[in-house]
Structures are given as C-alpha cells and as structure tokens.
C-alpha cells in the first residue's frame, strides 16, 4: 500500500470520530434525556431500562394494537396519548410483525405491557438518528409452572438491573403465561449495594468519556495491524488481520455516525431499480414470472457446459426433472398448501443454485467457505484440550462419538451462554431478522439456525437461539429441526475428508443446504402464526439462566451443556438399539422365506429402503447400471448414519467401481444428518432447552426428518446439473 492510501485510511476514522463528538456535544441538550444519562448500563448495547420507542414503528403498529385492545378489553383512557407521543412503548396492546396472512400470536412476549428497550450504551447520540429497528426485550413471560418466577424486587441480575419498572407490573401469573422455559427453581442472588454502586459509577464515567475509550480501542488495533503489515509485507499473512481491523473500524464508526448515510442510498437505489421493475409486472403474473426466471436460470446454468463421459446433458436433464419432482412431492404432502409462501420457496431454490455455481465453478467461492468451515472446526477443537486434561491426549484423539462430539457441544453451550449474556447474540439475531425477512420472508431465529448449522452442528445451532425456543411457532420448530437434518457440521467434516472424500463436494453441499432447508421446510410446513423475530426482534426473558456476571453465565452454560449432552447420549443409544431390534425381527422373519446371504439374515431396513430409494437414485441422475448401489447407500445413511454410508462408499469393494458421476451424486446425497440417530439428538436438545415444548418437538420431528432428507437430495440434484468435466474427477476425491 502507498503511504497516501495508508494515511487516508488511518486518518478518516479519526476525523469522523472528531466530527461525531462535536456534533454529539452541540446537540446533546436537545437529544439527551438527563434522567436516562444517570441510569446504570451494562452489556453490548447497555442495559439501563428505557421506555423509548420510535414514531415510525408506532405508526405501523398503532392500528393492530388498537384492534387487539378492542378484542381483549385492555385499552385504557391514556392509550391514544401514549401512541401519539412517539417516545414511549404503549402501555397495552399487541405488537404485530410485518407478516401478512398469519394469525396473531398470543405470546405474552408480543404484548406491549411486557416489552421494553435497552439504552444504547456504546452509541453516540448522533448515530441514533433514524434508527427504528431496535431490539425489544420482554419480561414476565416465563411459563413452566414448575419454575417459580424471580421476584424483581429482591434479586439482581444482568437482565433485571435494566428493568426500571414497577415490580407489580412484572409480577408473574401462571394462568396468564403462554410460553415456557426449562429448569428448576432459580436461586436468588443477594444484592451487594456497594459493588453495585461501583458499577454504576463506572457506567456513568464510561458514558461520559466513551469516545476516548473507542478511540483507544481503535488506535490499539491500528498499531496491531500496522505491525502485522510490516512483518508480513512479503506474504498474505496480513490479509486476515486487515479484515478483522476493518470490521472493528467500521463498527466504531457506526457507533458515532448514523447508519442512514449508508442505508438511504441503498434503499433509494433498490427502490429505483428492483421495486420499479417489480411494480411494472401485473400482480397476478408476478409469481409466474419469478418461477419462469428461476427455471430459465436452472436451464442455462446446467446445459451450457460441455458434455463428457457420463456427464451428459441427458443425465443433467434427469437431475433437473428430479429436482422438480422433489418439489412436487413437497407440495403434495404440504400441511397447508394455501399458506405456502412461494417467495421463500423460489428465493431459496434460486439462492441454492447461485451458491452452488459460486462454490462449484469458482475457486474463490470454495476457498471462502472452506475458510469459514476451518474457523468453525478450530473453535470446536479447543474442547479437545479440556478432554486431554480430564483424560489423556491419546484418549482425546480417539474417533469416538462420546469423545469427539460430546465435549465440543458442552463447551459450545457454555460459550453461547456467555455471548448471550454480553448481548452479542441478540445483536446478530436482530440483523439476521431484518435481512432475511426482507429477502426470504423467514424469521431471524430460523435464519440464524440455518446459517450456523453447516459450521457448528445441529445441537449447537439450536443453542444460538436458546431463549427464543420456548416461544417458537410450530413452523419455526420444524424449520430448526429441518436445518439440522439437512447438512453435516464442521466438527465432523474433517473426519469425512480423512476418508478420502474431496472437501469441495462436502463444503459446497453444506452451504447449499442453507437456503434449501428454508425453502423445503416452508413448503412442507408453512408458517401460519405470527413470530417474534420476523422483521423485528423481541428477546424473551429467561428466569432460570439469569446471571450476575460473565463467569456466572459461563458456569450456567457449562451445566446446561452437560444436561444436553446426557440427553443426546441417552436418546442415541436407545434409538440405534431399537433399529437393531427391528432388523433382528426382519432377519428372523426373512429366514423362513430363505431371504439370507450365505446363511446370514439379509432382510433389513437398509435393504428395504434401498429398493424404496431406487427411483430416487434414478431421478438424481445416477447412471443406469449403478442405481441400486447408490440407493442402498442412501438407505444406510437414513437408517444408520452418514458416517457408515461414507465408509462403505470409500472402503467396500462393491462401490469401488462406481463412476465419478455416481460417486459425486452419492457424496452430495449422503451429506446430511438426516437419520434416525440424529432424530434422537434433536429431540433431546430441543426438549432439554424448552421442556414445555417437548410435545411439539416430537410432533414435527418425523416431518422435519423427511424435509431434511429432501433438502440434502435437492443439493445432490443441483450438483448433478452443474458439475463439469474439469471438476468431476477432483470432486469425487480419492475414493
């Protein structure tokens, strides 16, 4: 980099911070509330209670809130005044989302009387101009009747200190509660007024001089980045630190500069281009136009590349027809076909195809997603150090499920609890909620789980939204489970690569499953209820896991991780043993009909599913002479697990002669946790997170397993359409 570029890059944040500080100082008497400046704040966005609400958000919710009050009889004489003030949350009424065509959710977390906002501790006042998507926090929504509600007047915790409300308003009523949380009666924490006073003094000191704290942090990382740039000027070792430094710089700038400087031009550009084109199409033709464009993209993308060996246009056409049949099956078996949101389905399938093109046909796409997967593996790999301390390094390296999978889950649950305490997770979920509701019409909780599952796993991804799980709709629970079944995790990816399977096929399949699982689940189980993270986020309270500090939060997470790990082990053991019992009965029954193989029982669930999956293998585009072999592998994956199927694909002689195209399609079709063993894992995790929803989890479990398997098969179909002669050999690996 030239000295001029470096100078401009380093000087711009200083100038912006200085201007923001001057603007904030001059306008402080107009923008600041003196009472709020005295409130004690903690956390990522601060946690002093503040009943402040934005006028444009009220304009959207006013009508729905009034209708809700009229129906429930909760409106008061002062309701209208509170709506028009534009600064306070209404005292009563329903807080609706921007969803259409769904019935209102009676969850207490969506009632204004239970909601409040947190002050922006780290933001300058000038940066708050135009903000209207702040996260709301709910209180008094705990509902499991075996949990005694914490008395807000006698306990002090991270989530309670910011709630400057009358304790009578936050009192718990078991008969009013709608949603639940797990656990046992929480232990009350005594208040240390002296320590609390010190924290309040530090909070006030920080709020007064936070611009200097931010400037110090930025200068510290600037020095770190420059040192790395000097030491690694002859290689690319400076690139990743630069990206981290850039992210920190941008975040600090947005704490002081209104984000509307960026979003307004983006909104204007979108309104002048995409919205105008959309409005030119008559409403009754919009859905068909979107479908035709999607089909055209699929046809062009799959047919333009040259033919080679088994990778003919005829086989690609079969894969394309197979994808259409999978969508038709989902439509035919949908729980409510009239409620299917085709925006989500078409957008999800198109996104899956675009991602597959980016990953399969460009080196940059593969490198980017492989790096993300590497980071996830590194994060979960730190649990091995704890396992080595408790046992030995040799034991920690054993390829056992109990050793390789369970400890990372416990560690990750504790880490997530710490991130939630600090407010980081709420911030990310809020951003996901706004973007994915705009793009795919799915909730923020669903988007977070779908995006995280390929990197951290099905159990860990559900933990990312742990406080929301008791408040999820049935369709959201179905989506969360489908995402877990549709892909594998970064923690086991390295094991499959070690078998000889090429990482490009595995990584691309994982990424393609993100939009595929969203589209498939929303066809199979459409959303009919209002959610708390669609377009806006309401964070429910969590009485059992409220923590007094970060160490307490981490310890609570470790204990919850142990309970979840125990549930996973128990359910896996029982379900796999039950499958063995069924195979034993089938073998005994088949022996009397001479259905044996060298005197050994031959009739098993795997064999039956192999024949059932025979037409599936055909429509995935597998060459004719290898259909039964690939179909049996898919059956083994569903009954046992993907590891057994992959091991057979690589090591058993009968599969060694498969063509590269068949190996490729099999690699994609097996790349998911969609099996009966994982069914026990998901039921165990979600039931432990939210015992009050255990029945709902079990109700949708089999449907979610079916949807997860279909999601994985759609990725195999797309791969069969897109793979080229240049990549087909390298994508099948050494198997």
Query: Strand 115-118 relative to strand 136-138: parallel, antiparallel, unpaired?
Result: antiparallel
CA dist., res. 207 & res. 201, Å (int): 10
Instruction: Please say whether the beta carbons of 87 and 52 come within 8 A.
Output: yes
CA dist., res. 423 & res. 111, Å (int): 22
pLDDT value, residue 322: 94
CA dist., res. 254 & res. 179, Å (int): 36
> In the structure encoding, which two tokens stand for residue 307, read together?
């033919």
pLDDT value, residue 130: 54
Q: Compute mean pLDDT per 10 residues along the chain, 735 residues long, and list them.
A: 47 49 42 40 37 39 40 37 42 66 70 61 58 60 42 37 39 38 40 59 81 91 88 75 87 84 86 87 89 91 78 87 95 93 92 86 78 78 89 85 83 84 76 76 86 78 83 93 89 72 82 91 92 70 68 88 82 81 88 77 81 92 89 89 85 85 91 89 88 92 96 93 62 45
How far, in Å, are 326, 344, 666, 727 from residue 320 at the CA level?
Answer: 10, 20, 16, 19
Instruction: Please say whether the beta carbons of 611 and 721 come within 8 A.
Output: no
The secondary structure of residue 137, as a DSSP letter, is: E
pLDDT value, residue 533: 79
Residue 538's SS3 state is: strand
How far, in Å, are 337, 710, 718 from residue 350 at the CA level?
Answer: 20, 16, 11
pLDDT value, residue 189: 43
Instruction: Please say whether the beta carbons of 667 and 506 come within 8 A.
Output: yes
Query: In b/e form, how buried is each residue of 60-92, taking b as 16+ CB within 10 angstroms?
Result: bbbebbbebbeeeebbeeebeebbeeeebbbbb
Which bin fits 53, alpha (ψ -120 to 50), beta or left (φ > 0)? beta
> In the structure encoding, which two tokens stand for residue 70, read together?
């009229």
What is the rounded end-to-end Cα distance, in angstroms, of the chain?
A: 45
pTM: 0.70
**CB-side exposure of 43: number of CA atoms within 13 Å?**
29
Order of strands, edge to edge, in the sheet holding 115-118? 49-50, 115-118, 136-138, 538-539
pLDDT value, residue 323: 94
pLDDT value, residue 6: 47
CA dist., res. 580 & res. 573, Å (int): 11
CA dist., res. 210 & res. 28, Å (int): 14
CA dist., res. 517 & res. 707, Å (int): 8
pLDDT value, residue 468: 85
Angle at 672 between CA 670 and CA 674, to 5 degrees: 100
Measured N-to-C along each axis, helices 503-524 and 490-498 cross at an angle, to the nearest 10 degrees, of 140
């Amino acid at each position: 980099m030239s000295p001029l570029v470096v100078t401009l890059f380093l000087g711009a944040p200083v100038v912006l911070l200085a201007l923001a500080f001057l603007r904030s100082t001059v306008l402080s008497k107009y923008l600041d509330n003196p009472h709020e400046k005295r409130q004690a704040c903690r956390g990522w966005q601060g946690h002093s209670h503040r009943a402040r609400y934005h006028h444009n958000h009220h304009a959207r919710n006013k009508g729905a809130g009034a209708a809700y009050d009229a129906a429930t009889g909760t409106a008061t004489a002062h309701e209208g005044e509170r709506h028009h003030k534009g600064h306070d949350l209404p005292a009563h009424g329903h807080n609706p989302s921007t969803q259409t065509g769904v019935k209102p959710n009676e969850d207490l977390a969506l009632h204004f009387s239970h909601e409040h906002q947190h002050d922006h501790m780290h933001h300058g006042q000038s940066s708050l101009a135009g903000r209207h998507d702040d996260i709301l926090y709910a209180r008094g929504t705990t509902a499991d009747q075996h949990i005694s509600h914490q008395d807000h007047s006698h306990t002090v915790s991270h989530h309670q200190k910011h709630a400057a409300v009358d304790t009578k308003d936050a009192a718990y009523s078991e008969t009013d509660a709608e949603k639940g949380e797990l656990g046992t009666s929480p232990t009350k924490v005594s208040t240390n007024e002296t320590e609390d006073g010190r924290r309040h003094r530090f909070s006030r000191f920080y709020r007064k001089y936070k611009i200097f704290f931010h400037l110090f942090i930025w200068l510290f990382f600037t020095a770190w980045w420059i040192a790395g740039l000097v030491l690694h000027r002859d290689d690319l070792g400076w690139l990743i630190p630069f990206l981290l430094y850039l992210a920190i710089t941008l975040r600090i700038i947005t704490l002081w500069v209104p984000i509307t400087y960026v979003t307004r031009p983006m909104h204007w550009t979108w309104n002048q281009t995409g919205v105008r084109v959309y409005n030119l199409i008559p409403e009754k033709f919009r859905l068909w136009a979107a479908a035709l464009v999607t089909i055209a993209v699929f046809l062009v993308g799959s047919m333009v590349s040259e033919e080679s060996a088994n990778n003919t246009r005829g086989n690609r056409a079969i894969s394309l027809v197979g994808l259409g049949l999978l969508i038709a099956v989902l439509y035919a078996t949908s729980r409510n076909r009239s409620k299917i949101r085709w925006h989500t389905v078409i957008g999800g399938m198109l996104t899956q195809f675009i991602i597959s093109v980016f990953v399969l046909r460009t080196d940059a796409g593969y490198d980017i997603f492989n790096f993300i997967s590497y980071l996830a593996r590194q994060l979960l790999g730190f649990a091995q150090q704890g396992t080595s301390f408790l046992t030995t390094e040799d034991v920690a390296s054993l390829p056992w499920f109990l050793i390789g999978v369970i400890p990372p889950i416990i560690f990750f649950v504790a880490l997530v609890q710490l991130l939630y305490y600090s407010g980081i997770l709420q911030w990310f979920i809020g951003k996901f909620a706004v973007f994915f509701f705009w793009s795919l019409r799915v909730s923020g909780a669903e988007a977070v789980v779908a995006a995280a599952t390929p990197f951290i796993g099905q159990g860990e991804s559900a933990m990312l939204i742990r406080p929301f799980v008791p408040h999820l709709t049935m369709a959201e629970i179905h989506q969360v489970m489908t995402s877990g079944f549709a892909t594998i995790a970064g923690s086991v990816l390295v094991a499959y690569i070690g078998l000889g399977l090429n990482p490009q096929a595995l990584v691309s399949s994982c990424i393609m499953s993100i939009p595929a699982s969203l589209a498939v689940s929303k066809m199979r189980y459409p959303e009919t209820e209002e959610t708390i993270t669609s377009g806006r986020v309401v964070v429910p309270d969590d009485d059992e896991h409220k923590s007094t500090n970060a160490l307490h939060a981490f310890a609570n997470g470790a204990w919850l991780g142990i309970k979840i790990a125990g549930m996973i082990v128990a359910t896996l053991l029982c379900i796999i043993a039950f499958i063995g019992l069924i195979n034993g009965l089938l073998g005994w029954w088949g022996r009397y009909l001479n259905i044996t193989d060298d005197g050994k029982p031959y009739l098993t669930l795997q064999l039956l599913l192999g024949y059932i999956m025979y037409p599936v293998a055909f429509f995935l585009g597998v060459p004719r002479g290898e259909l039964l072999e690939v179909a049996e592998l898919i059956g083994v994956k569903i009954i046992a697990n993907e590891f057994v199927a992959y091991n057979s694909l690589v090591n058993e002689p009968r599969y060694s002669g498969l063509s590269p195209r068949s190996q490729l399609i099999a690699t994609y079709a097996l790349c998911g946790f969609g099996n009966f063993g994982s069914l026990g894992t998901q039921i165990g995790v979600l039931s432990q997170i939210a015992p009050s929803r255990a029945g709902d989890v079990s109700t949708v479990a089999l449907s979610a397993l079916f949807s997860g398997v279909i999601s994985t098969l759609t990725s195999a179909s797309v791969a069969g359409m897109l793979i080229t002669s240049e990549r087909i050999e390298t994508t099948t690996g050494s198997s």
